[in-house]
Structures are given as C-alpha cells and as structure tokens.
Structure 1
C-alpha cells in the first residue's frame, strides 16, 4: 500500500512541477474505471477554509464530506490534514467523470469556471489488449493499453492466457510474438487492480495483408457498431496509405489498404497537421484543390495503425516526418538505430532535433559518448549504444513540433523455470529466456549449464525443455542471445533437483507387490471356483440322464417271444382265420 501511495504521489508531483499559469491548463487525472482515486487540491496555498466543488456544464455544486451519492455508492471524503485531498472511495463510474474544483470557502464558487488552475479534470480508463502487426513474418504483438494515460504509474502489468496467470513485468508489452491460431485468449491487468482485467482477446488469423481479432467485449466492439458487452470479431489491415485523387477544383483523399475485408466494417480517423479531426470517420474525404496540409489516417479505436504522413499538394514541400519503425524492442547493452525520413524546404529554419518523452516529461536528446546523430539529406538517425533500461521511452524527430512516434523498450534477459526452480527427478521442467518485449524471431539463443554451452540443435531457441529431469540436470543456467554486434547474456539461475524419496519408493514397491499377490490369489481362486462349478454341473447332468433312462426302461412292456402262442391267440380273436 505504501509503494502504491508513493507512485500516486510521484505522478501528481510531475503534474504540479510542470506548473500552470494563473489561467493555465486544468490538471488532468486518469484513473481505472472501477477503482478509487485521490484528488489533491491544485491550489498550493490551500488551508482549512478550502472547499471542493464538482463542475458540470450547467452548475457548480459543493462536494460534501463523507457523502454517498444515491444509486452510485460513491463515497466522497475530504482529508483536511493531508493536502486537502478529495477521495472518491469506491468504484469509479461515468457519474464521477467531471471537473473538480478546490477553492477557498470565501471565494465565489463560479470562479471554478474561469480560474482553470483550481480545476482537476477526472477521466476514466478502460484496459484493452491492443493487437498490433509485427514486422516479423505473419505475427502480431500485444500491448496492455488504457484509453487514457494513467496518472498513477503502474507498478507492473499482469498477463493472463486462457484465464490463467502467466507472468508480471514492468513493460506493458507482451513478451512474445503471437501467431493467429485462435486457440489462446489473452488478457492483462495493472498490478494491484487484478480484478479490473481487460476483456479477453484472441488472434484468429494473420496474413500478409490482414489480421483478425476476436474481443470478448469492450470499447473496440463499440467502434464497430456492436455492444460493449457482446463479443465481436474485427479484421484489420496491416498497413494503411493515404491516396490522393486530384480533380479540377478539389482532391479526394482515400485511406486505403491491401486488406479489402477491413474496409466495410471500419471507421477511420483523419489527422490534419498532426491534429485529430473527430468530426469525420469516413474512408474518403474531399478537400479544396489548393489546400495544403499534412495528412495521415488510422483505424478508429486502433490509432496505432497509422499511415505515413503525406502532403495534400505534391507540388508543395510540406514539412513532415516518417519513421522506419515505430516500435523497437532492444536488448540491454546492445545498439539501437531510430531512423526517420523527413521532408522540408532546404531554407527552412525549423529545428531538427530528437526528443525523448517519458514519465518525467519531454527533453531534447543530446549527443554524448553513447548517443550519436547521423545526418544525411532527408534522413536522420539517432544511434544509442549500450542501451539501458532508462532509455525506454517515446522518441520523436521534430522539424518544429511533433508528437512522440517511436516507442523504444529496452529489456534484459532472465531465465525462468516452470513449474519452479526446485523440482523432483522425473518431472518435466521448461526453462525460458524471458524478456519484457517480443524480440525478433530470427535471433539465436545459446543455453549454458555451469558455464558450459549446451550445443544440441533444439536448444538454440528461447525454451529449454528437460523431460524427464534427472539429478544430473541440477546446476546454474544462463541464456545468451547471439547478434552480429555483440552478445547479451542473462544472469545465472539455479535449478535444484531432489531425488525421489527411497523410503516412499520401497513402500510403493511393497504396495505394488502385495497388490500383485492379491490379484494372483484372486485369479487362482476364481479359476478353482470355476472348475468346481463346472464339475458339479457335469455330475448333475449325469444324474438327470440316468434317471430319465430308468423311467424309459420301466415304461416298456415285456412281450412274450413264443410265436405259437401268439398265433393261437390271434386265431381266437379272428374266427375267420382258421
């Protein structure tokens, strides 16, 4: 709890240190839907006479202390002795999405509408597993995304597959590339809020032009005219391009792709000079012939699928920047090139620098012994040697001002063991060289045991399977990634293997022997009884047959064998015969 509170405080501190003018920007706070939130009083000179107000479109209402809102079970609590914090104590809902104002009791509450430095705008975030096409073959990457940037920096992210816990890590990226077989459903959560998981997502198919995703529910479905509470399947294009068709007085812009299945079910986003036009969601739009703007398009709800910038008039050299790769996963200690192609007038005075954006804000990237600029006409490369985890950030090359466009995640290597690092001989054990982001599929892994390489061909990937494990497998394991520039190694992890319990083995053997004797005795007894029953049956049959024969013999009348006597009797019975 203390660590979580510390992260919340640091998040708020960053906002305050940024500073606002007297009538500057309102403080914005993003919290997970269903969680609770602490709102610090933006007025640094707060005192015991301060009050909190909720600012709606129509009115400004005082937020009472220890109040439960009817129907929403939302408890508001004001802590005067601790920076005059307003706590919304139960599950945040849409009814809590509003502006909150902290001002003195003697002030006019309507000042909450004009002095924006006193206002906090509360936004709710929903977690969603974003599916983004990878450059490595027909695969995708997964990202645990929130609909707004969380003010409370997550301690870590927790990943699930088919409802079962996989791992937790500081990076919001899933650590492996995913192919489209549809057999696994993925979900994620923020550490400490595991009950507020993102809806499950499965990747059904991935081709060279498209990928199809099934969402169990969530806002991605609502972008495609489906209920947020129902599952939906969406086919996305892997790449988007802005095509320009010129007419006499106007130009038609089309956000096109090589995936025809996505066109009929997608809504689109259009960006004019880096600014989102929320009023237009069609695939085509029309502009005036001589209207010169920098244009890009994306799929609504999936703004990571963003096209390159184009100029609406090819005859004019619009200042724009396109990046060779927008997502980079780099091994700690390796070298990284972040490259871009830019278009601008040779006489332009626009600044050409690289900027780094992280939780501490945006800063210019200066050259030093690790960081170098490589410049050619129309191309610029930021090279970072011996990258470290604190190099993880968003990078942008600006001609005047640009949004962060390249995400760099720096990861180390770690050996993990499943089911655990302490096993019993005969079990199946899987050792995995884990990372915080998905590395390229073509990397070669070498496994070491007690400092010696395991050279079997099947051990040149990130998984090492020992099945069945024996006492000889106990030891210290290391994984190393081989690259053309340098090799990166993990720390050693120990695997302990216990011998089977001999006494238990003897007892089990004795049990098996007794069971065998019992089965043998039962079989012998069964055979003996079967023979006895068969003999008894045979004797019964013999007795029955003998009795029947005796009865037959008794029923037969004995006749005289004297032919003469028989003839005289017959003559007496038949007087005609004589």
Structure 2
C-alpha cells in the first residue's frame, strides 16, 4: 500500500506506524506489535516522506481499513491519515455456466472481487497450462477434464481444479500451497487426486527439473525421499538445497496430469539468534528464520547450554552479560538448534558442534568434533564427552565399559575437542555431547549435541522394467556423511565405482551383487541374487583370542546346473592362482574345513597365533565356473591389563584391553593375587590401591588364555607366570612343568604344586594339598630348581593317561598367599608315538 506524508518544517518525526484498530484506551495499535501480523508486515520508517506498507502471506482476516499515523516532538503533533486504505482479500473460484441453452459449450469464469491493476489470468486444463489468458473462458466439456485458474505472477494462488461435467474428472489438490521447515528435519508434502481413467503410474518431482523425474530415484534424495500411501511425499534430513516447488503427477493409458500446475513450495531454513538493543542494560533475542515456520511452533531457549523453562515465544529479553550465550530451538525439534551467540562481546560460554548429525558404517571409525569458548578470565577445570545423563549428572564416556578401548579424546588447540569411536556398533547410535567446566561456570548438559546413527549396507533390488532393466540400490538406514563413493561387486569382482548409490542394468539372475563404500571396502553388504553365485559370511570381521579356536562361518550358493568340484579357503591371492590354505606351510594341523560341497563353507582355525591375523576368503570351483567371496578380516589379539589411577584417589581402574573388539560380547573374569574376584560383561574393574597386589583378566570360556598379571604400582608385586598354557607328553615319559613367581617385599613361608583334579582327596576342598603327598603320584613327583628364588618346576615321571589335568603353583607369605583359582598349565598325556609339545 503506497503512501507519502508531509509535516511542517521545524517538527521532528519521532514515530511512524500503520494500524487497523485501537486498544482498550483508544490508542492505535501498531501492526508490528500485533501478533496476527508479526513477521508479515514491513514499512518504511525513514521519517522523510515514504510510508509504503507491505503485507505478505495475505489472509482473508487481513481484510480491513489500514491507516498510517506519525508522531512528532511537538505537543499535539500527531496525525492519522484518514480515511485510510480499504483492503479486501479474496481467493479465486472457477464458476461454470452453460454457454447457451442449445449449446454443449461451457463458460468458465475466474471469480473474485474486482482485482486492482487489471490482472492477466492463467488457465490450466488437467494440470497443464493453456494459452487463453482471459476470463471468462469457453470450453467444450469432456467428463475427464478439470480446469483451474490463477492470476499471472501469483500462480501459486490458483483455484482448486473443478470438473465441468460430472465429478470424476482428473484432479490434483495439494494440502499446502507452501511449507516452511527446519534444515535437518523431516517434512510431509501431501495431495489428494482422482482420475477419470485407470492410473498406471504416480510419482513426485521437482518443478525446476527440465524433465519430470521420480524424486525417489534422484541420487540427491537417495535414502531421504519416500512416497507413502495416499500420495504423501516424505523427505527426511532436509537440506537448504531441497527448497523448491514439488509436484505430483499421475499417468493413465490415455493421458496424465500436467506438470505445469502449481504444487507445494517448500522452503528450508535454519535457526539464527538475532540480538537487538532493548532497554538500558538489556537485549532482545529473536529466534529468526528465513521463512515463517508452519504450524505456529513453540520455541525453546538455552543459556550456556542449559534449557530455560520461562520462555516459549519467538523473542526473549535478557540482561547484558559478557559470560552468557544463548541459543534457541523449536519444540519437537530440539536437536536442530541455532548456533549459540554471545549477548555482549565474542568470548562467552559456547560450544559449537561440527555436525548436528552423523551417519557412519557399522565397524568403521567416526570423529565427533566441537569447538568451545569461554571468557578469558575463566580457567577450564574439566572436559569430557558423554551420552547418558540423569538429573544433570553425566558420565565420562571414556569410563563407560561399553566403550572400553574404543574411545579416544583428541584436540589440536585449547578450544577444540574430538571424540573418536572405533569399531562402531549399531548400539552406539545415540546423541553425544561435550561438557566443560570452568572455575566460575559450566556448560549445561541439556544443549543438543551430535546425533550418531550407525548403519550397515544392504542391496535393494527393484523389479525389472519393460526394458528388462533392474535397479540396485546400496541402501542404509541413514544418509552417509560426506557424500561417499560407492563400489559395486558382481560375483565378488569389483565392477563399478560411482558417487551414486544406484546402479541400473540388465542384471543376470545367475549373478550376485554387493556394494561397499570407498575407503571401507572391507565393510561390504551381503551379496544378493536370484539364482546366483554368492558367498555369505556370518560375521563381516572377527576378533579372537590368541590360543583360542575360531569358526569362520559362511554359506554359499551357485546355479543349479553346476556341480562343485573343489572348495577351499585362502588368504593370499595374486588374482591368477589361488593357493589352498591347507597346503600353506604353517597351517598343517592348524585349520579344518567343516563345510561341504552343497552350501556350508565354515572354516575352523585352532590354537590361534598373532600371525594368523589376515583376510580369509572362500573360493569354489564348479564344472564350469570359479567364484570367491570377499575377504573376512580376522584379527588375533592377546589380553593386557591397563591401569588408570587418579592423583586424588586411592582407587584404581583396570581395563582388560585387546587390540580389537572381541566378537560375541564376552564375559570377563578378574583375578587379584591369583584369586578370582569378579565375573562380569564389563571389561573394567575398580579396586582399592595396595602396593603388593597384582591383577590379571581372562574371558569366560577361555580362562587359560588369561593376561599376564600386572602390578598396580611399580614392578614389585605378587605374581605367578607359566611359560606354557598346555603341554602334550607321551605315556611313560617324563615332563617338566615350570613357573616363575614374585612375592614382592614379603617373605615366603611355603609353596607347592597341586592339581584340582585331586581335590576330592583333600581334607578341605578349599585348601589345595601338596602333590608330593598324593598317593597317586608317590615316587613320581619332585620339585626341581627350588634353590633358585622366583622359579619352581614340577617334574612328573612315568606319565600315565590319568595324569592329564591342570597343574598350578601356589605360595604363602606371612600376610597372605597366591590364589588357587588362577589358571595354570594343562597337561595332556597321550599314548600316540609323538614328541612332547608345548604351547
């Protein structure tokens, strides 16, 4: 609404505004203060001459008389421009009337109040624009046809499509003309439709594409666009680049709904906090967006990372403070918050996360980073990452047993922190937050952090088209971060590398297909096929203990017209000649093929060594073809006890550490001075610190594969170490079973060997008896090397098969003794004519 104003010279204009109503006291209410007009009105307040008013997103309730008012510095110097401007807001309707009594033609009229500026009209027939630009508009009716009209330059404000004959014509009606949604959120764009003829296909598309293309097939929307029932398009993880006009189209055997008919305009915005001066010593904060959010949201405010309960409006008034930062979010979308801003200066309490959300592959490594600031006169006393909190109490992630040996903290400067999580599991999917405390303040725990979603890869196969082509999609449960490059495999061979997660071709039913992401080729999807060649492993990677036995389970398929000739495993392959692992030196008697020549291809490896760490792959040869699966990485690890102490505590935290994450979530066993003290799924154990104590850990089911005992302080503590976990000896021969021990600063009072196999003959089953007093070993047992401090050897002669048992060494001191539950050396006596072996 254009206007200009003048006033006498010598006056100074102090206030200008538009209004439509007065308050209870009869004073005009400025539109900018009216809740119905907020964020929709702008007008010039340059106090010169221009007083033009602009109102956006007009509503029928805006119909009113608008008046401009200005106030000067002189008494009585107030003026209102009467009679004002009367605004009538109308929508468009298509009115259908017969052309004449004797004619089948119809007259269509785009009815409104008399629009200003003699507009040009646009007509749509079945969603497609027609050339006629007048109103009224004459048409010859067809039962299938619908018509709609709009005014040029306001095409989005079109009328609903109407049938000119019957009510079953072609129609599409959008639920919303426009939607404003938050970046990172999800949106549903819906319409209703009907068709006179049977429908063959339906899809959604962007109007800015030169050719209408099904949005669910667009690589930019891969994994984010889903067309549900009832013609609703859902787009997840919204990006600013998703801002566009979206249209629905259907096709019949005869025609289809046109693609020029206006659809729903989506605007994607982020949140920003704008700071403006208010009363003295105060600021007004506004949670700002580039469009007006749909559905009148409730706002949430944060101060220094802590949620405030007293304000739920778009604006919030605060006192000036150099320390405080503020951020805002929208209720039900608390994870999508505005960056925190300082009220005064630039060094307030603040944490900024590099990513609001991250999608990463199961088994991979992820870095979650942030930057933080604080006033220069504050000193940081504590920093940590966490993902669990109750009533404001958080737990440092590095002390969480579920993340033992998988979490590291890194930093490059004094104002950044990176949380690194390795060997990702699906259970790691959650929100991660950073916390820091200074000597004067702390960053709150309710401020949104970074949400991590862990996904695996799957190949989705769409039905064949008329041209015989299928589409393979490398799908994930979330959109992978950093726009990865995808690798496609056909029958285990790499065939394609592309930034698209889609692959369309005439695929053979006899072939298998899998996908991976470049840089993590080892984390590929299971192979899919119809009647094809495939190898499927139960585990994509395996972590197992040194000395244990592992089964690498797998199954395989092949076309029914083939017959298996050879099947074997391998670790090294030049691409030409594959070498059967059973013929490789060092694997004799060490591996066993448990599979068959039908579908099972399980490999067993016994007495694992660190050198067995490698990629293992299965290969089979048929009467006509050869096929191999991708390698399964096997990592062999031993156990080590890591000690974490505190300068201010007498407690110590012990971690049973491995170089990889053991498969199948094991239960851990803890030993203190040879006594079993704990059995738990946690790999950590806490205890009171004492100088003579030593600790060792093992995994349930593999107790003999325990870690070396370690001292909690220094190198002088109780311990017993066996050179061999197992000994195999011939019946009738002699064997030496040795141990080394340390008693710290104590004095040894007694020591002996025993076997728990003989516990039934002990006077007290909890007090092991000396093997030399056992009648079953009379004259056959002696201790050698006893004069050498710190070493003891048990010698058994004339070995019998019933001597097969576990043998342990214990000692007693003036204060206590070495526990009898600590694993020893297992002796196996055999009648076979083989040499004595140790392991």
TM-score bracket for this pair, using the shorter chain length: 0.3 to 0.5
Structure showing greater radius of gyration is 1
Higher-RCO chain (CA-CA 8 Å, sequence separation at least 6): 1
